[in-house]
C-alpha cells in the first residue's frame, strides 16, 4: 500500500496529544499555537486509519468483542465545532480541504463543510465542521470523535445536554480546547482535568512555545508578538488583551462586553469568592422569565448599600415557574421579596392564566419590576456591580454570562451596534438588571414570618443538576 504524505507537521506540544489514548482532552494554548490545525488532523487520522481506531476502541476498557469493534468501525463521524457556523467556515474549512486533498477519493461537501473519505461499500468515514450556535443539528448523530474549539465561547451546558450523548455509542473521544477568556468553562474544565489521569491536559503560554518549538514556528510567533506590541503602542490593543492572548491571563474581557470593567474590578478587589448565607437576613429572589435554560433566578442578601449574590438557579429542559419554585423551596433560606419583569403579567396560553397568577397560587407572590429600558437598566446594573459580592461556586454560570454579555458586531459597518447580542448570556444578565432596578425595595427589608407553604410538585422529577462551572457531566 502506498504511503500518503499529509502536509501536516505537528507542533511539539501536539505530539504527545496525538499519541494519547485517553478519551478526554483539555488543551489551553496561546493564540496562533496551531490548535485547530492539530485537531483537524487528529480527526482525519482517525477517519482514515482503521487500525488506529480499532486500537482506540480496545483501549477504552469497555471490553468490546472483535465483532462489536468491527461494527463500530463501519460508520464513523468526527466533528469539529467552533462557536458559530460562520466562524467554522472562516477558520477551519479551507485548512480541512487542504489537509484532505492528498487522499485519493475524498469528497468535500461545501454546503455541509464535510469531507467524506473513501471506504468500502456500506461504510462511512466523515470529518465535518459545525457551529455551536446551531447545535441541535447534532442531536441523534453518533460521533467517534469530537473537538470543541474556542470552548470558552460556547454556550454553557451544550456538552452535557447534547454532545455527550452523541459520543455514547462509539465511546468517542472529546477535546475541549482554545485560548481562555476569563475563568469560564474552558478554564474550569482544565482545572478539573489537570489532576485526573483519565484526561490529557495541557496549559501552554507563548513562553513555553518559544522554549520548546523550533524553526519557522519561533520566527512567526516572535513576529506576531512584535506586531501586537506595536498595536498596543498605537492604542489599538490593550495590555490586558495581549496578556490574555499570549500569556493566558484570565482577567481580560470579550470585545464589546457591557460589564468588562465591573467584572475585572470584582475579581481584582476580591469580591468574587465564597459568599455565605446569613440566616439573620432575608433572601430576595429576582427572575428572568422563559422556559427551561432561558429562565434565570438570582438570590440576594442586602447589607446596607452592599449587595451579596449568594446563589443562582436556571431551568432545565422544559422547566417553568412551578419547577423552579419547587427548587427554591428546598433551599434553607428565609425568603424576602420575589421580583420578576413586567412580562410575568402575560397570559400563558396553555393555562389561560398569567404567570403572575400561577406563581401566586404557589404562594410565591411576585412584585413586578418596572420597565425602565435596556440602556438605563444596564447603567443601573453597572452601578450595582460596584457594590456587589458574588459567590464564585454557586453563581459560576452568572459570572460567565457577565463576561460574555456584549454588543452585537455589525459586519457591514465594521463596528459595534447599540443593542446587545441575544443569546444564552442575556438571561442571567437581564436577571441582574432587574435586581438593580429593584434594589431600593430590598433596603431594610425584614424576613417574612414563616408560613406553611405547600410543597410544589413539579411535572417531572430528577433535575439534571449542572454545577456552576457547567461540568456536572463530569461527575
CATH number of the domain that residue 453 is part of: 3.30.420.280
| Mean predicted confidence (pLDDT) in 272-292 | 92
Do both 456 and 350 map to the same domain? yes
Does some domain include residue 237? no
The grid coordinates of residue 145 equal 470523535
Does some domain include residue 45? yes
Does some domain include residue 454? yes
> Is the pLDDT reported for residue 467 higher than 50?
no
Do both 180 and 316 map to the same domain? no
pLDDT at residue 468, as a whole number: 35
* pLDDT, greater one: 448 or 72: 72
Does some domain include residue 26? yes
> Is the pLDDT reported for residue 471 higher than 80?
no
Does some domain include residue 286? yes
Do both 135 and 279 map to the same domain? no
pLDDT at residue 448, as a whole number: 53
Do both 404 and 309 map to the same domain? yes
Do both 285 and 385 map to the same domain? yes
Does some domain include residue 233? no
CATH code for the domain of 42: 3.40.50.300
Q: Tell me which of 181, 204, 227 is where a domain ends.
A: 204
Predicted confidence (pLDDT) per residue in 358-382, tens digit: 899 999 999 999 999 999 999 999 9
Do both 301 and 403 map to the same domain? yes
Predicted TM-score (pTM) of the model is 0.64
Predicted confidence (pLDDT) per residue in 23-52, tens digit: 999 999 999 999 999 999 999 999 999 999
Do both 199 and 104 map to the same domain? yes
Q: Tell me which of 182, 204, 226 is where a domain ends.
A: 204
Strands annotated E in 95-178: 107-109, 114-116, 124-131, 145-148, 173-178
Name the band, by pLDDT with cuts 50, 70 and 90, for residue 239: confident
Does some domain include residue 287? yes
Q: Tell me which of 204, 231, 257 is where a domain ends.
A: 204
Distances (CA, A) of 136 to 132, 185, 260: 9, 20, 30
Name the band, by pLDDT with cuts 50, 70 and 90, for residue 451: very low
On average, the pLDDT of the chain sits at 88
Do both 39 and 181 map to the same domain? yes
Q: Which residues contact 9 (CB under 8 A, 6 or more apart)?
A: none
Name the band, by pLDDT with cuts 50, 70 and 90, for residue 207: very high
Q: Which residues contact 225 (CB under 8 A, 6 or more apart)?
A: 206, 246
Do both 80 and 174 map to the same domain? yes
Do both 177 and 283 map to the same domain? no
Name the band, by pLDDT with cuts 50, 70 and 90, for residue 412: low
Does some domain include residue 218? no
Q: For residue 369, what are the domain limits?
A: 272-474
Total structural domains within the chain: 2
Do both 55 and 198 map to the same domain? yes
Name the band, by pLDDT with cuts 50, 70 and 90, for residue 300: very high
* pLDDT, greater one: 292 or 272: 272
pLDDT at residue 350, as a whole number: 66
* For the ranges 149-163, 422-436, 446-460, the one whose mean pLDDT is highest: 422-436
Distances (CA, A) of 285 to 176, 334, 339, 364, 417: 34, 11, 6, 10, 32
Share of the chain above pLDDT 90, in %: 67
- The answer to which of 45-49, 71-75, 247-251, 323-327 has the lowest mean pLDDT is 247-251
Do both 322 and 406 map to the same domain? yes
Predicted confidence (pLDDT) per residue in 98-107, tens digit: 999 999 999 9
Amino acid at each position: 500500500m502506498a504511503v500518503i504524505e499529509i502536509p501536516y507537521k505537528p507542533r511539539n506540544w501536539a505530539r504527545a496529544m496525538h499519541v494519547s489514548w485517553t478519551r478526554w482532552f483539555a488543551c489551553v494554548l496561546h493564540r496562533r499555537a496551531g490548535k485547530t490545525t492539530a485537531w483537524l488532523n487528529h480527526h482525519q487520522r482517525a477517519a482514515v486509519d482503521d487500525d488506529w481506531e480499532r486500537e482506540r476502541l480496545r483501549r477504552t476498557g469497555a471490553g468490546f468483542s472483535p465483532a462489536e469493534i468491527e461494527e463500530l468501525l463501519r460508520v464513523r463521524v468526527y466533528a469539529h465545532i467552533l462557536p458559530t457556523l460562520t466562524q467554522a467556515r472562516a477558520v477551519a474549512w479551507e485548512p480541512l480541504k487542504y489537509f484532505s486533498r492528498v487522499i485519493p477519493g475524498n469528497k468535500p461537501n461545501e454546503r455541509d463543510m464535510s469531507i467524506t473519505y473513501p471506504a468500502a461499500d456500506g461504510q462511512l468515514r466523515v470529518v465535518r465542521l459545525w457551529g455551536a450556535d446551531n447545535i441541535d443539528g447534532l442531536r441523534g448523530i453518533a460521533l467517534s470523535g469530537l473537538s470543541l474549539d474556542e470552548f470558552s465561547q460556547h454556550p454553557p451546558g451544550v456538552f452535557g445536554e447534547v454532545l455527550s450523548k452523541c459520543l455514547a455509542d462509539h465511546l468517542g473521544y472529546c477535546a475541549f480546547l482554545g485560548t481562555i477568556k476569563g475563568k469560564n468553562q474552558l478554564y474550569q474544565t482544565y482545572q478539573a482535568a489537570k489532576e485526573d489521569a483519565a484526561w490529557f491536559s495541557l496549559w501552554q503560554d507563548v513562553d513555553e512555545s518559544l522554549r520548546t518549538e523550533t524553526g519557522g514556528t519561533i520566527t512567526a510567533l516572535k513576529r506576531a508578538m512584535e506586531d501586537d506590541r506595536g498595536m498596543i503602542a498605537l492604542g489599538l490593543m490593550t495590555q490586558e488583551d495581549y496578556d490574555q492572548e499570549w500569556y493566558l491571563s484570565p482577567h481580560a474581557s470579550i470585545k464589546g462586553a457591557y460589564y468588562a470593567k465591573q467584572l475585572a474590578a470584582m475579581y481584582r478587589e476580591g469580591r468574587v469568592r465564597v459568599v455565605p448565607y446569613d440566616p439573620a437576613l432575608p433572601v430576595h429572589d429576582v427572575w428572568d422569565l422563559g422556559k427551561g435554560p432561558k429562565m434565570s433566578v438570582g438570590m440576594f442578601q442586602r447589607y446596607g448599600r452592599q449587595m451579596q449574590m449568594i446563589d443562582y438557579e436556571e431551568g432545565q429542559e422544559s422547566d417553568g415557574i412551578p419547577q423552579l419554585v419547587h427548587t427554591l423551596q428546598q433551599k434553607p433560606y428565609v425568603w424576602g421579596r420575589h421580583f420578576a419583569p413586567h412580562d410575568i403579567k402575560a397570559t400563558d396560553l396553555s393555562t389561560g392564566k398569567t404567570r403572575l397568577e400561577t406563581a401566586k397560587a404557589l404562594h410565591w407572590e411576585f412584585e413586578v419590576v418596572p420597565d425602565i429600558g435596556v440602556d438605563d437598566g444596564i447603567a443601573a446594573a453597572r452601578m450595582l456591580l460596584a457594590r456587589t459580592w458574588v459567590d464564585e461556586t454557586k453563581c459560576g454560570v452568572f459570572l460567565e454570562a457577565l463576561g460574555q454579555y456584549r454588543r452585537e458586531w455589525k459586519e457591514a459597518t465594521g463596528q459595534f451596534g447599540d443593542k446587545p447580542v441575544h443569546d444564552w448570556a442575556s438571561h442571567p444578565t437581564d436577571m441582574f438588571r432587574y435586581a438593580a432596578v429593584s434594589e431600593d425595595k430590598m433596603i431594610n427589608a425584614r424576613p417574612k414570618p414563616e408560613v406553611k407553604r405547600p410543597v410544589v410538585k413539579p411535572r417531572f422529577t430528577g433535575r439534571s443538576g449542572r454545577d456552576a462551572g457547567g461540568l456536572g457531566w463530569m461527575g
